[in-house]
Each structure stands twice: as structure tokens, then as C-alpha cells.
Amino acid sequence: MPPAQRHPTMADVAERAGVSTSTVSRTLRGLSTVSPEVRARVEQAARELNFAVSRQAASLVTGRTGTMAVLVPTLNSWFMGAALSSLAPLLRAAGMELNVYVMADLAARTAFFERLPARRNADALLVFSFDLTDEETARLDNLGMPVIYGSQHVDGRPSVYVDDVVGALHGTRNLINFGHRRIAFIQTIGASGFSFSSNERLLGYQQALTEAGIPLDDDLVVATLASDKRGTAEALGKLLSLREPPTAIFAEQDEVAVATLWTLRKMQISVPARISLLGFDDQPMADWFDLSTVAQSPSDIGREAGELALALINDPDADHEKHVILPTHVIPRATTAPPPAPQGEQNNSGEQLHG
């Protein structure tokens, strides 16, 4: 067998480039004290020797690990997939790796906050869509690294999110402008690790009704477990059993809206002729089902959170309380229309008139 090849060292690169090892170190760390001509020679020598700087060695010199950590409640969601998919190429371009911590259950969560592995293994931590206790937030504050919150507003900490209140307000206004006055809201409960957006969207719905002079009716607000078709059917049953059923339904998530649409079609209740339906998120399924929805972009949230983290890593004097608020917008599709005319109100051709 041939003898094992020795891995090239920084001294080997220095010898080939005709510079000192300290110059090689400064070059590979990206310091501006190296001239462009010398930098080119060192980089060429490193390529020819297939030399790579180990992250462990580099961290001893720079104090950085070259890794960004992400804390998420689940990976089994459209939002998380889209956010992380946009974050990964951004970090790759910056020469950083991504380390994801999934808090799938209470045991994993307890272990993370007891050990805080990110303290030793990352230069910054992104926290996506996660309800944290005051004690957990304080633990993250003491990590000694930038902690950026994605898809939620956290006072006094860097955050990237959409304004869920405004998004839901605009969505409800859209239904009101169609002429709807009996508008129901299906809220999601039991979402893995997170309730911030749920509460904000309910608030936006209520604000829109109030500004339109429509009294709030607790009977029009029902709840279902996330991704639970049976629970959605039960919530819809409550709404359709009211003395005055809704003419429009605003579902907090597209998944719930699609489950509602499926149930209404099974009951042979026409959408939007009898009931209009609006979702929130603009997941791919919303387009497939031609669902009207309030759109947000988790890809933009992931990318903006990553850029904010990189800025805080590279500039200790940057704003550590910066908030980036991204827009939402209503996308009208085939599931929203004016409400049906009261029975008996028809024109001369026998068609119902809309009120």
C-alpha cells in the first residue's frame, strides 16, 4: 500500500507562496492588511496544495466557529422548510455552516436549555417561531452571541417578522368590502412551540370588525388543532349550527382553510356562492386549490434573519435591537365573493340578487 499522504500545512502554503506563515494566516482570515498581489499568491498556493483551514484551528485565532445555529420547534412545516432553504445559500456564500436544533418534544427542549450547546458551537443563534418562557429567553440572552428571532417580535432583541395584526386586518377588510358581515375566524391551537402569530391574527380580525362597526361575536371564533381534518370539521359544524351562520370564514392558516374547503365540498356547500373562504400564508397548496389568502414570505424572513445575524457577527457595534418588518398582501382567488342574497331577493331573470 502507498504511504499515507501528509496533509499540507500553513507552512507549506507559505513556502510555495514565498511569504511568512503569519502572512498566510492573515490572508486566509480575510484581513485587509494583506496586499491584493500577496493575497492572490497565497490563495493560489492554497488551491494548488488543496489546503483547507480547519474550523477548530481558525476559531482559536479568530474566536469564531464559522457556524450559525438555528432553533426550531419542528422541521415538518412549509414555513420552516422555506425559511431554512433561503438561509442555507446565504450562509454558504459567507463561508459559514448551518447547525439546526429541533425541539420536537419537551425532553429535547429541556436538554437544550440545560446544556446550551450553541454557546460552544456557533457564532449566532436564530430562533424561529418559538414560544419561550422568560427564563429561557434570559438563558439565551446570556449566550454571549447575537440571538435573532424569526417570525416573531421580541422586545429589545433583533427580530424579523411580518405584522400578523395588519395582515389579518387587511384580510378581514377584504371580506367586509365584499359585503360580508357575518365573518367567522378559525383559530389554530396546539401548534408546535408557537402561538405568537395565532394571537396576533385573531387581534387583526377583531380590529377590522370593530373599525367597520360590526359587533364582535364570540360564537364566530372557533378553534381546531393544527393539521387536524376532523377537528376542523367539528369547528365548522359549530359555525353552521348557529342561528345566523357565517357567510365568510377566515382561517388562520392555509392548511386549515383547505381542510375547511374539503369539508364544505363534501357537504355540498358551494364556495364561494354560499360561503367565502380566506386563508393566511400563501402556501403552495393555496395556489393549487385556488384559495384566496393573505400572503407572507418565509423565504424572505429566513434570508433577512440570516443577513441580520451576519451583520451582528461582523460588527459588534451594530444595532442589537433592530426589527425588520416584512409586508403581507391579500391574494384574491376563487374562494371569495360577495355574500349570497337573502332568500326571496331575486331579479326578473330568477337570479338571486346580492345584498
Predicted local confidence at residue 300, as pLDDT: 97
Sheet holding 329-331, edge to edge: 221-225, 183-189, 248-251, 276-281, 292-295, 329-331
Torsion of CA 243, 244, 247, 251, to 10 degrees: -60
Q: Indicate if 286 and 173 belong to the same structural domain.
A: yes
248-251 and 147-150 beta bridge pairing: unpaired
Predicted local confidence at residue 52, as pLDDT: 57
Q: Indicate if 154 and 201 belong to the same structural domain.
A: no
Q: Indicate if 216 and 124 belong to the same structural domain.
A: no
Please say whether the beta carbons of 302 and 83 come within 8 A. Answer: yes
Q: Indicate if 31 and 141 belong to the same structural domain.
A: no
Does residue 60 belong to any structural domain of this protein? no
Q: Indicate if 180 and 290 belong to the same structural domain.
A: yes
Radius of gyration, CA atoms only, the chain: 27
Measured from the Cβ of residue 327, the count of other Cβ atoms closer than 10 Å reads 12
pLDDT along the chain (355 residues), means of 10: 55 89 76 82 82 50 76 89 93 90 86 82 90 89 91 93 97 98 92 69 97 98 86 95 97 94 96 98 96 97 96 87 96 97 58 45
Q: Which of 335, 248, 340, 339 is nearest to 289 (CA)?
A: 335
Whats the size of the chain, residue-wise? 355
Give the end of a domain, one of 254, 277, 296.
296
Predicted local confidence at residue 262, as pLDDT: 95
Give the end of a domain, one of 251, 278, 296.
296
CA distance 230 to 224: 9
Q: Kindly give, in sequence order, each residue whose CB lies less than 8 Å from that of residue 268, ignoring residues fewer than 6 positions away.
A: none
Total count of domains within the chain: 3
Predicted local confidence at residue 3, as pLDDT: 39
Predicted local confidence at residue 215, as pLDDT: 97
The CATH number of residue 18's host domain is: 1.10.260.40
Q: Indicate if 115 and 219 belong to the same structural domain.
A: no
Q: Indicate if 272 and 181 belong to the same structural domain.
A: yes
The DSSP code sequence of 104-147 is -SHHHHHHHHHH-THHHH-SEEEEES----HHHHHHHHTTSS-E
Q: Kindly give, in sequence order, each residue whose CB lies less than 8 Å from that of residue 344, ignoring residues fewer than 6 positions away.
A: none
Measured from the Cβ of residue 334, the count of other Cβ atoms closer than 10 Å reads 12
Predicted local confidence at residue 241, as pLDDT: 97
Exposure string for 34-65, b = 16+ CB within 10 A, e = fewer:
beeebbebbbebbeebebebeeeebbeebebb
Q: Indicate if 155 and 303 belong to the same structural domain.
A: yes
Give the end of a domain, one of 251, 280, 296.
296
Angle at CA of residue 213, ends 264 and 215, nearest 5°: 60
Does residue 268 belong to any structural domain of this protein? yes
Q: Indicate if 36 and 71 belong to the same structural domain.
A: no
Does residue 112 belong to any structural domain of this protein? yes
Q: Indicate if 179 and 268 belong to the same structural domain.
A: yes
- C-alpha 143: how far from its chain's center? 23
Does residue 318 belong to any structural domain of this protein? yes
Global confidence as pTM: 0.79
Does residue 340 belong to any structural domain of this protein? no
Predicted local confidence at residue 301, as pLDDT: 96
Q: Kindly give, in sequence order, each residue whose CB lies less than 8 Å from that of residue 225, ignoring residues fewer than 6 positions away.
A: 188, 189, 190, 231
Give the residue numbers spanning the domain of 182.
164-296
Q: Indicate if 155 and 173 belong to the same structural domain.
A: no
- C-alpha 137: how far from its chain's center? 19
The CATH number of residue 132's host domain is: 3.40.50.2300
Q: Indicate if 94 and 177 belong to the same structural domain.
A: no
